């Protein structure tokens, strides 16, 4: 394995989690590159110490030991890897590709097969932890893939993850674990929104209700994190309503494929879809609460 300071890694997708992961790689001493269509994001990473940033990787792909994809969905993964100026055809055989978008197991297997045709090593490795954990290099990674892929990507995993679950060798297993996790995450947000909406209707101050729940047995990480946005009236997105329309769609598709009923996930999907349809799709996922009628919610003060 190359020494850390000779290990070249590119992060594709410099959003809230991708930027944190890329900066974690820089702090870990990895030679770090970034790909994003947003010029401001590229400039931010460059100023943080990236070797090179670009809208595509054509100028530096042949230098890379590893690629981390933190894009939104399977379509974006395919575009980055196999589209015009795609990375897959430019990377050296044996390069590790860590696919960390939330995608279906079927899409993970399809992408893995495409990478294998180019002699590339894939980890099906969704992540969790949000922007804060990404920035701290402490994401939770749910990974499946070959022992060779894990070995190749170990310096990258060490840089960005606080916990790595090595689920098994079969591509698709990591995606499935993340989908099950997203079932819980989406249902918790939806349930938290419902509870806070009921409190608003009953005339209970939302800051008081939030304080009670976060110090009692009904609390969850998602309630504590997301319902604070409701209390503050701040729906600046770190993860949007539309992300959960996508992710809970994957959950319900997985249930259908396995002929397994998922009544709570289906209800939560309907809530997020209603919020998106009402025009809240680009807001923080806690904005699912805005679809409840007859309540008054806090609004962030603007200067």
Looking at the predicted structure, is the pLDDT value of residue 62 above 60? Answer: yes
Residue 234: inside a domain, yes or no? yes
In this predicted structure, what is the pLDDT of residue 3?
A: 47
pLDDT band (50, 70, 90) for residue 87: very high
For residue 272, with 0-12 CB atoms within 10 Å meaning exposed, 13-18 middle and 19 or more buried, which class applies? buried
Helix axes of 16-27 and 39-47: crossing angle, nearest 10 degrees:
20
Counting the structural domains of the chain, the total is: 2
Condensed to tens digits (0 to 9), the pLDDT of residues 127-169 reads: 999 889 999 999 999 999 999 999 999 999 999 999 999 999 9
Q: Which of 123, 141, 169 is the last residue of a domain?
A: 169
Mean pLDDT of the chain: 96
Other beta carbons within 10 angstroms of residue 237's beta carbon come to 18
Do the beta carbons of residue 80 and residue 35 sit within 8 Å? yes
Residue 2 pLDDT more than 70?
A: no
Predicted confidence at residue 233, as pLDDT, reads: 98
- Is residue 227 a part of any domain in this protein? yes
Question: What is the rounded distance in angstroms from the CA atom of residue 298 to the CA atom of residue 234?
Answer: 9
Q: Name the residue range of residue 54's domain.
A: 4-169
Are 159 and 191 contained in the same domain? no
Q: Are 128 and 256 within one domain? A: no
Does residue 299 fall inside a structural domain? no
> Of 169, 199, 216, which residue sits at a domain end?
169
Residue 4 has pLDDT above 50, yes or no: no
Q: Are residues 23 and 82 in the same domain?
A: yes
Q: How many CA atoms within 13 Å lie on the side-chain side of 274?
A: 13
Q: Is residue 298 part of a domain?
A: no
Phi, psi of 68 (to 5 degrees): -115, 120
Asked if residue 39 and residue 148 are part of one domain, the reply reads: yes
| pLDDT tens digits, one per residue of 182-215 | 999 999 999 999 999 999 999 999 999 999 999 9
246 and 203 within one domain = yes
Provide the terminal-to-terminal Cα distance of the chain, rounded to the nearest Å: 53
Q: Of 169, 200, 226, which residue constitutes the final position of a domain?
A: 169
Note whether 260 and 202 are same-domain residues. Answer: yes
In this prediction, residue 5 carries a pLDDT of 54
pLDDT number for residue 281 = 98
pLDDT recorded at residue 180 = 98
pLDDT of 46 above 80: yes
Q: Which helix (H) or strand (E) holds 241?
A: helix 241-257
Looking at the structure, do residues 119 and 140 belong to the same domain, yes or no?
A: yes
Is 65 inside a domain boundary? yes
Are 185 and 77 found together in one domain? Answer: no
199 and 155 co-located in one domain: no
158 and 211 belong to one structural domain: no
Looking at the structure, tell me whether residues 187 and 68 fall in a common domain: no
Which CATH number fits the domain that encloses residue 52? 3.40.50.720
- Give tens-digit pLDDT for 96-131: 999 999 999 999 999 999 999 999 999 999 999 988
**166 Cβ contact partners less than 8 Å away, ≥ 6 residues apart:** 143, 144, 150
Give the residue numbers marked as catalytic: 178
pLDDT of 303 reads 58
């Amino acid at each position: 394995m190359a020494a850390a300071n000779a290990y070249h890694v590119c992060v594709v997708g410099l959003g809230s989690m991708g930027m944190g992961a890329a900066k974690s790689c820089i702090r870990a001493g990895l030679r770090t590159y970034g790909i994003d269509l947003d010029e401001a994001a590229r400039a931010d990473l460059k100023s943080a110490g990236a070797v090179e940033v670009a809208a595509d990787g054509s100028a530096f792909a042949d230098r890379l030991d590893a690629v981390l994809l933190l894009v939104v969905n399977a379509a974006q993964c395919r575009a980055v890897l196999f589209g015009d100026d795609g990375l897959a055809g430019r990377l050296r055989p044996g390069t590790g590709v860590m696919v960390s978008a939330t995608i279906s197991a079927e899409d993970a297997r399809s992408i893995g097969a495409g990478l294998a045709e180019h002699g590339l090593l894939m980890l099906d490795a969704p992540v969790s932890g949000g922007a804060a954990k990404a920035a701290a290099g402490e994401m939770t990674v749910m990974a499946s893939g070959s022992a060779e892929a894990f070995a190749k990507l170990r310096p990258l995993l060490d840089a960005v993850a606080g916990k790595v679950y090595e689920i098994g060798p079969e591509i698709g297993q990591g995606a499935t674990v993340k989908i099950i996790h997203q079932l819980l995450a989406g249902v918790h947000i939806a349930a938290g929104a419902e509870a806070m909406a009921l409190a608003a209707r009953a005339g209970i101050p939302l800051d008081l209700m939030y304080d009670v729940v976060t110090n009692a047995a009904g609390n969850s990480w998602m309630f504590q994190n997301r319902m604070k946005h409701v209390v503050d009236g701040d729906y600046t997105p770190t993860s949007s309503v539309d992300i959960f329309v996508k992710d809970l769609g994957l959950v319900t598709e997985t249930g259908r494929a396995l002929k397994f009923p998922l009544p709570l996930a289906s209800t939560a999907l309907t809530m997020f879809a209603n919020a998106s349809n009402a025009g809240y799709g680009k807001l923080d996922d806690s904005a699912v609460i805005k679809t409840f009628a007859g309540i008054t919610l806090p609004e962030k003060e603007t200067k």
